[in-house]
Structure 1
Amino acid sequence: MLSKLDLYRIFDAVAQNSSFSQAAKQLFLTQPAVSQSIMQLENELAVRLFKRTSKGVTLTQEGTLLYDYVHSAIHLIESGENKVQELKTLTAGTITIGVGDTISRYYLLPYLENFHRRYPDIKFKLINGTTSELCTILKTGQIDIAICNFPIEDDKLELIPCQEIQDTFVCGEQYKKDFTNPISLTELVKYPLICLDNASISRQFIDEFMESHGIQLVPEFELGAHDLLLDFAKINLGIACVTREFAADYLKDGSLTEIQLTEQIPKRSIGICYLKSVPLNTASLKFIAGMVSPS
């Protein structure tokens, strides 16, 4: 039995063609099937929709009124179906990504560039925040995925580690002579320290590492951005705790020196998170695949 939507699709085709036979060809149906469908619709609505003549059919007054609504509705449905197909084939759509400034600058940009080159019709919207903030807004639906510092403990989120990173301590020219040999954490904390503020996952990770060695970290400076850590260390305001991969340019040109420790700081990672309970759109899934297995 045909659904009401099927009947209206047939009605729309007959009205456009002014012919049962032409509508049947357009819909790949038999003419009797089209005639029977129109009769069923007329019976359900208890009105006559078409005037039958030897030259074809024309809409009645009731049919004309109904056609305006049906044609608009069918057009909207078809437009919606086309949009869905565009999303599936990555010829339209938007990916909303939550990410911090540092990860965006030093890690995410190459993946955005590569994806945009392959799928230029997909748009990106970036929302800035700390890892904790991004995990919170993920659950409100404001973003599709977040690129965050790990570790994260949240059973509502799917977590995909992407790249290992190494926390380390660096210094400027003034302090360089003090660190020609490896130094212990106990000796290190006697120097003025520069760290991220304690709201960040990166800082919490270092705090826990220090506490595991019986040391409480009390920085001289607590900053809100990784680049500021590098700049403060460069002008000799203290010893900065930074991410080695994000300090590569400073270490390469010699403006900062990495301090060798007798205790090894464990590696951690940057990764992708998204809600387990919400299916991702095709574009987001494709973007994640490119980050996990870049081509």
Structure 2
Amino acid sequence: MRITFDDLRVFVAVCQAGNLSAVARDLACSQPAVSQHVKRLEQATGVRLLERGPDGVTPTSEGLVLYAAARDGIVGVDQALRQLGEMARGQVGCVRITTGATTIRNFMSEAVVDFRQRHPHARLDFRTIISSRRCFESLAEGVVDLAWVTIADSIPGIEQRPVVELPWVLAIRDDDPLADRSSITPADLTEIRHIQLPDNAVSRIHLDTALNRLGIQLAPESGVADWNTAVLLAELGAGHAIVPCLPYDSAAAANRPIRFQPLPFLPPLTVGWAARRWETLSPLAGSFADMVEERCRNR
């Protein structure tokens, strides 16, 4: 029995949704039609691909093998069709980028200007996503071409390229007793009121790992979604924030009651680009990635 592209596309959708009815609604077809696509794949491969349960369906171990391969293939074809469509319509192209909330200002502003001058008819489509994990998922799903992330451990189907290492600093209000210290020691951190990032943030995991190796356990004072908010709360005296060394509105810093104390005993945080495959990036996406990297390394 011949496997069709639609069979694979429906199977990938089922694995992602975990529910046949939901996929049927999204595709505006019947649930038996969705089941038929999966059945054809199971007959062609000779293995069971889905486990059916009261709460929906999950891929079997064999199904996971097919899902990973089919997802990557479909994403690649969809990206190629998008680029061909742009060429057919006479459009120069678009680069889709996902970033964290602080990325464009701190890492990309100069490169955006350079890119616009070099490619005046091309389009940059920025999609703000706070979590690096969600950025990786957007890449795997083919929603974006590039992601600026905290570099993580190896992720199947994703290639990462480190660009810059960021030292850690302690953000504190200038009337805090730690503000006048000539240096901060690991022991000093045990007494701070910690403003922390979400548990699933990759940068939070890096920081917690480094602190644990020093035997430091921090009691959280409050939680925030991004580094800029953590710095703002520290400035307001709501706690102390351990953040990567970034400008944080440096033009106005002289008039703000905030200090940034270096923490050289913590290993720096590495950030950079991630893509599905560098060799398949469009020339425009590769050009923008290179511009950002060059600007960061020239600082």
Q: When the two structures are superposed, what TM-score results if normalisation uses the length of structure 1?
A: 0.64
Per the alignment, residue 83 of structure 1 pairs with: 87
Kept after mapping to 1: 8 A contact 2:166/2:269: yes
Per the alignment, residue 149 of structure 1 pairs with: 150
Output aligned runs, 1:56-75, within 5 Å. none
Q: Does 1:286 align with 2:290?
A: no
Moved more, 270-279 or 189-198: 270-279
Partner Cα distance (2:171, 2:238) in 1 = 11
Partner Cα distance (2:89, 2:286) in 1 = 15
Partner Cα distance (1:175, 1:221) in 2 = 18
Kept after mapping to 2: 8 A contact 1:165/1:267: yes
For structure 2, the 5+ residue unaligned runs are: 1-83
Q: When the two structures are superposed, what TM-score results if normalisation uses the length of structure 2?
A: 0.63
Aligned CA distance change for structure 1 residues 254 and 121 (closer, same or farther; 3 Å)? same
Aligned CA distance change for structure 1 residues 279 and 242 (closer, same or farther; 3 Å)? same
Kept after mapping to 1: 8 A contact 2:172/2:179: no
- When Rg is computed on C-alpha atoms for both structures, the one with the higher figure is 1
Per the alignment, residue 95 of structure 2 pairs with: 95
Q: Once the 2 structures are TM-superposed, how far is the Cα of residue 259 of structure 1 from its aligned partner?
A: 2.6
Per the alignment, residue 271 of structure 1 pairs with: 272
Partner Cα distance (1:83, 1:260) in 2 = 50
Aligned CA distance change for structure 1 residues 163 and 277 (closer, same or farther; 3 Å)? closer
**Paired residue secondary structure (2:246):** helix
Partner Cα distance (2:179, 2:254) in 1 = 20
User: How many residues get paired?
Assistant: 211
Deviation readout 1:229-281 (Å, 9 max, x if unpaired): 111111111111122124361655553112355x6111122201101287111
Per the alignment, residue 18 of structure 2 pairs with: none
Output aligned runs, 1:131-170, within 5 Å. 131-170=132-171
Q: Does 1:192 align with 2:193?
A: yes
Partner Cα distance (1:248, 1:269) in 2 = 21
Moved more, 187-196 or 229-238: 187-196
Aligned CA distance change for structure 1 residues 141 and 189 (closer, same or farther; 3 Å)? same
Partner Cα distance (2:86, 2:134) in 1 = 35
**Percent of pairs identical after alignment?**
18
Partner Cα distance (2:213, 2:143) in 1 = 37
Per the alignment, residue 224 of structure 1 pairs with: 225
State the AA in 2 paired with 1:165: L
State the AA in 1 paired with 2:157: K
Deviation readout 1:172-209 (Å, 9 max, x if unpaired): 02204564232322332212111222221111111000
Aligned CA distance change for structure 1 residues 245 and 158 (closer, same or farther; 3 Å)? same
Kept after mapping to 1: 8 A contact 2:139/2:145: yes
**Paired residue secondary structure (2:265):** coil
Kept after mapping to 1: 8 A contact 2:179/2:261: no
Aligned CA distance change for structure 1 residues 197 and 145 (closer, same or farther; 3 Å)? same
Q: What's the RMSD between the two structures over aligned residues?
A: 2.6
**Paired residue secondary structure (1:101):** coil
Q: Once the 2 structures are TM-superposed, how far is the Cα of residue 135 of structure 1 from its aligned partner?
A: 0.3
